[in-house]
Amino acid sequence: MVATIRTLDDRGSGRANVWRENEKGNLKKLKLTIPQTLPGEEVRVTVAQPSRRRWKVMPDEIVTAHDERIEAPCPHFQKCGGCVWQHWQYSGQLKAKTNHVKEAVESQGFDSDLVLDTIGMDEPWHYRNKMEFTFSPEGSLGLHEQGNWRKIIPLETCLIAGKDMVDAAMEVAEWVREYELKGYDKDEHEGLLRHLMVRQSFITGEMMLGLFATEAPEGHLAEAVDQLVKRIEDKFPQVKSLLWLENTDWADRTQSEETHVLSGRDFIYDEIAGYRFRLWFDTFFQTNPTQAQKLVDIALEMAEPKETEKVIDLFCGVGTFSLPFASRVDKLAGIEIVESSIESAKRNASENGLDNTTFLAKDARKGIDQMLESFGHPELLLLDPPRSGAGGKVMRRIGRAQPGRIVYVSCNPDTFATDIKELEAFGYELKVVQPVDLFPQTVHVESVALLELKK
């Protein structure tokens, strides 16, 4: 059958409706999800179970192609779940992201003209400074198949990861093959190797490799592990942290019960906006350093921080925004629920010569109350919440605190829009929203927004 793509869903796949006769001869609507398609395209598909009301199917043929359709450059694109939009010209991706942000704010009653065009990348490839690869039960290294978290697509390359990172990952994959090591079977809960995490600073060049395994790197593994260390040290001198991380938990997460430093140290150094940060294997840090720098610059430009002001930074993490802001204001207080991130933020502030910061490990809502008592009233509040947003309770608490200016850094247009809607009742006005593309070839988009308290 031929279907026409009406729109895209929140995962970047096409949506189409078709009508089919059932066994009684009645017409029934079938809602299709069709990955790797674009709005307006006519595609031929085969539906295996027409009795279903909804069905996900790959296109058999693109009958009428979108003007912006291109040939995906990655050999793994058809199966790998890492990217979803390599078949779309980058200019088209940016327009779609701008429209997503506009539609989100408009749905909450805001003027979509306040949303500027998305700032893209000059080179939208090899931009990620961190990747987490997975081992299949047979030991091959790759990424999950689209829509199938149990199947691993063995990789020969990755066009969104840093080039040195891919080379190092392929070296580890070759080592695994030579020693015939097994990967972890999620169904049987047995096997050795689970994940390989690679992260690298594009500024300092330092790289970290972290192997997540179900056993310690000793005993029958000692010879193989020694050879891995030698290979990495000989071929990749930029690897300043080679880790073996024990993880026996059934949950499929990159976590560690015991960390073994095979070579170097247990962290690497990175920089953003001229400030140095220590990154451990589980440190949250912006994965696109080029665009992260733009986020910081835009936030500073919107906020116009003054040296007499106090600032509260909610969801501050390890201080990515805290440090550049702290250097421009009288005092800054950061709040973050993850204790290890707060300890890192304190250390990062100290190592960068900042002595006007206070960091609190607390839930955002309770942390605001505590900080208002001890720190005082902020003229400026900055927040960078997770994809789920800050939530109504936190936003209402921010509204009651009445900072003169609020800068909201968002990674989810929909939760951003519902969050800032809460501030209207407290007298805040949305002034501008600047989307920034941190994740080319995917549906995700970040934004920086300024809200001001009406005089």
Query: 309, 379 in Cβ contact below 8 A?
Result: yes
- Residue 347 to residue 15: CA distance in whole angstroms: 48
Query: 184, 192 in Cβ contact below 8 A?
Result: yes
Query: For position 104, what pLDDT does the model report?
Result: 98
422 in the same domain as 295: yes
- Residue 405 to residue 234: CA distance in whole angstroms: 52
134 in the same domain as 110: no
246 in the same domain as 362: no
Q: Which amino acid is at 126?
A: H
Q: Which residue is it, tokens 């605190």?
A: 401
Residue 88 lies in a domain: no
Query: For position 49, what pLDDT does the model report?
Result: 67
Count of domains in the chain?
Answer: 3
**Phi, psi angle pair for 105, to nearest 5°:** -70, -35
Residue 150's alpha-carbon distances to 81, 142, 145, 184, 251, in angstroms, are 12, 12, 8, 11, 13
Query: For position 29, what pLDDT does the model report?
Result: 87
Q: Which among 272, 295, 318 is the end of a domain?
A: 272
- Residue 290 to residue 246: CA distance in whole angstroms: 32
∠ at Cα 289 (286, 295), nearest 5°? 75
CATH of the domain at 157: 2.40.50.1070
CATH of the domain at 47: 2.40.50.140
443 in the same domain as 427: yes
Q: 405-410 and 7-8: which strand pairing?
A: unpaired
444 in the same domain as 299: yes
- Residue 432 to residue 139: CA distance in whole angstroms: 49
| Nearby residues of 120 by Cβ (< 8 Å), 6 or more positions away | 90, 91, 93, 94, 437, 440
Which of the residues are catalytic?
Answer: 411
Q: Which among 67, 85, 112 is the end of a domain?
A: 67
DSSP 54-89: EEE---SEEEE--TTB---S-TTTTTBSS-S-TTB-
* Residue 205 CA, distance from chain mean position: 21
32 in the same domain as 153: no
429 in the same domain as 292: yes
244 in the same domain as 174: yes
Give SS3 for 341: helix
Query: For position 50, what pLDDT does the model report?
Result: 61
Query: 211, 181 in Cβ contact below 8 A?
Result: no
348: left (phi over 0), alpha (psi -120 to 50) or beta: alpha
- Identify the H or E element spanning 262: strand 258-264
Residue 72 lies in a domain: no
Q: Which residue is it, tokens 């300043």?
A: 240
- Identify the H or E element spanning 171: helix 163-178
433 in the same domain as 331: yes
Compute how many other C-beta atoms are within 10 angstroms of the C-beta atom of residue 117: 11
**The whole model's pTM is what?**
0.92
- Residue 191 to residue 41: CA distance in whole angstroms: 44
288, two tokens: 């696109």
- Residue 233 to residue 171: CA distance in whole angstroms: 12
Query: 277, 296 in Cβ contact below 8 A?
Result: no
- DSSP H helix total and E strand total for the chain: 9, 23
Query: 360, 338 in Cβ contact below 8 A?
Result: no
- Identify the H or E element spanning 432: strand 428-436
382 in the same domain as 235: no
Domain region containing 31: 2-67
Q: 7-8 and 54-56: which strand pairing?
A: unpaired
**pLDDT values of the chain reduced to their tens digit, one per residue, 455 residues:** 899 999 999 999 999 998 877 667 778 888 999 999 999 999 999 987 666 788 899 999 999 999 999 999 999 998 887 899 999 999 999 999 999 999 999 999 999 999 999 999 999 999 999 999 999 999 999 998 877 777 899 998 999 999 999 999 999 999 999 999 999 998 888 999 999 999 999 999 999 999 999 999 999 999 999 999 999 999 999 999 999 999 998 777 888 889 999 999 999 999 999 999 999 999 989 999 999 999 999 999 999 999 999 999 999 999 999 999 999 999 999 999 999 999 999 999 999 999 999 999 999 999 999 999 999 999 999 999 999 999 999 999 999 999 999 999 999 999 999 999 999 999 999 999 999 999 999 999 999 999 999 97
